[in-house]
A and B are shown apart, each in its own frame.
Chain A
Amino acid sequence: MMVAAWRALLREAWERSVVFTQFICFLNVFSNHVAEVHQCLGPSMLPTFNVSGDILLLEHLSSKFEKVRPGDVVMARSPVNPNLVVCKRVLGLEGDRVTVLPTSSRGHVKQVVVPKGHVWLQGDNAYNSTDSRHYGPVPYALIQGKVFYRIWPPEGWGPVLNRQP
């Protein structure tokens, strides 16, 4: 009768919520540990990425297994603001000697040796990018993942390539 129908409904609702929760957990684990979609805003990676925000695919496996190489585009937590994720290119790993472009047209080119456990990040748009030239070398552990594909805008669909400086 009525009670039995309610019971069946509640049971089905419970089973569906369990499956839904498991699915959400799976998505969570996948996006934190394997790959996720992220947006990159701002002028610091022109001409590679647009100012208004490109949508990128990010994979976490390269940074976990220390396979990040100079020339890769990575997303990292900013050392000056832990709530901000920045998108830059890796210029050098620990021990590398990197040639650092000036921050404005009046500056000079410098050479820096990257300390242990850190990387040097620089935006492709050298004159309009806040990066390691401002906040110093960034600890490797702040790197969230490597950007490997762009999926928006549609005309920009394609792999994001490693570019040696």
Chain B
Amino acid sequence: MRELAGSVWLLIKRVMTGAVVGVTISDRFECVATMHGGSMEPTLHSGGNEPFGYLKADLLYLDKMSLRNYTFSRGDVVVFRSPLEPKMWLVKRLIALPSDWVTVPGTYEILQVPKGHCWVEGDNAEVSFDSKSFGPIPLALLKGRVTNVIWPPSRFGHVENRLPEGRVLSQNRGTSTYS
């Protein structure tokens, strides 16, 4: 009986230590997340609304090293906390960085992304709830960059950095370039 209690205690200690190390790694370095919703089709798939749909959803590999100094590039797929629902995490593509001018689709407007903010859009423009609806978001809401899809095996691979053409006018050190 005492032996059983002793080995249960050892197991608990091992699990706790593993959990602490795991949380540290997932906060600072790399992390894994499941995809919900259709806003990033065809780049990322979610499982759909059936009961065990989440088993078929894409499993995403996130890189958190870029959070160090918030060094994200235009065209990265990023994960961030929703500005309207603090508990929700969204995944979209980062289109424009601070001081860029971005065209708002569906209108003839061009707006400048304010300091410290960024413009995010989903690849599936029709169903995507993104900066077109809630405007530019503070960079501080970003929580990681999606670098790979690691499940299901048929979709295993790198998530490309891709910027839609003709949407962003960026000014780098005094020179302006259309991308």
Instruction: Give the interface of A toward B (CB within 8 A).
Output: 21-22, 24-26, 28-29, 32-33, 66, 77-83, 116-118, 138-142
Contact = CB atoms under 8 A, between A and B. Distances in A.
B83 A118 contact: yes
Contacts of B69: 83
A28 B64 CA distance: 15
Contacts of A138: 138
Interface string B27-62: 110000000000000000000000000000000000
Given A32-B27, A82-B140, A117-B83, 8 more contacts: A22-B17, A26-B20, A117-B84, A117-B86, A118-B83, A139-B141, A142-B140, A142-B141
Interface of B: 17, 20-21, 23-24, 27-28, 69-70, 81-87, 114-117, 137-142
Contacts of B20: 22, 25-26, 29
B114 to A, nearest CB: 7
Nearest to A25: B24
A63 to B, nearest CB: 9
A24 B17 CA distance: 11
B21 A82 contact: no
Contacts of B140: 77-79, 82, 142
A52 B68 CA distance: 26
B155 to A, nearest CB: 29
Contact of B138 (A24, A26, A82): A82
A82 B84 contact: no
Contacts of B139: 82
A141 B85 CA distance: 8
18 contacts: A22-B17, A25-B21, A25-B23, A25-B24, A28-B28, A79-B138, A80-B117, A81-B115, A82-B70, A82-B116, A83-B69, A83-B70, A117-B82, A117-B84, A138-B138, A139-B81, A141-B81, A141-B83
A139 B86 contact: yes
A118 B134 CA distance: 12
Contacts of A82: 70, 116, 138-140, 142
B85 A81 contact: no
A28 B116 contact: no
Contacts of A77: 138, 140
B22 to A, nearest CB: 9
A116 B85 CA distance: 8
A141 B140 CA distance: 9
Nearest to B67: A82
Given A32-B27, A80-B116, A117-B86, A22 B21 contact: yes
Contacts of A66: 86-87
A28 B84 contact: no
